[in-house]
Homo-oligomer: A and B are copies of this chain.
Amino acid sequence: MPDSSLNALIEALRRLPGVGVKTASRMAFHLLQHDREGAQLLAQALQQASTRMRHCSLCHTFTEGEVCATCLDPQRDASKLCIVETPADQAALERTAAYRGRYFVLMGKLSPLDGIGPRDIGLAKLFERATDGAVQEVILATNFTAEGEATAHVIGEALKQRGLKVTRLARGVPAGSELEYVDLGTIAHALVDRR
């Protein structure tokens, strides 16, 4: 019968999103029976990532340094700032190779029902960044969901009041879907057609 360290492993695996007790058991048995090297690798990777990763002081994405590689890149156009919800969304935009400006990663979205307000997604920091003098255009690339649209609206209105040009990804992206799962062509098209 399961011993304590096996139970502890199954319980710990259940903290992963979308993993219940059956899946956690399968994962634990698989690692112990067929891939102990993988288990050790995963342990180290978790340890290192959770101690080393922090937020970029400029754009808020995950990074190991004080400032992330994208913000440090002098090749990128500092006059454009693209606002996304998550690093995964940022990665999707990067894969289109259709955007060479900078980013601000909200690490979430406004969601009053879940108690997530402007402070939780670092809007004060965003406004500071957007009004640094270099930024001339802010591109709202939050998801086309209810919360994403609301977040885009709130940010857009606030930045327009500060005299900035604000655009939104074109509605080429199907409504209700999440950026991370949209095909690259559609995202590229939406970038070109931004309004």
Complex: how many Å from CA A31 to CA B46?
Answer: 9
Contact A39 B32 (CB under 8 A): no
List B contacts of A16 (CB < 8 A): 27, 30-31, 38, 42
**A163 within 8 Å of B (CB atoms):** no
Contact A46 B42 (CB under 8 A): yes
Which of A49, A52, A86, A91 has the largest number of chain B CB atoms within 10 A? Answer: A49
> How many residues of chain A have a CB within 8 Å of chain B?
61
List B contacts of A75 (CB < 8 A): none
Q: How far is the CB of A101 from chain B (nearest CB, A)?
A: 14
Complex: how many Å from CA A15 to CA B107?
Answer: 26
List B contacts of A86 (CB < 8 A): 29
**A112 within 8 Å of B (CB atoms):** no
Known A-B contacts A6-B62, A27-B17, A43-B47; the reply to A94 vs B33 at CB < 8 A is no
Contact A49 B32 (CB under 8 A): yes
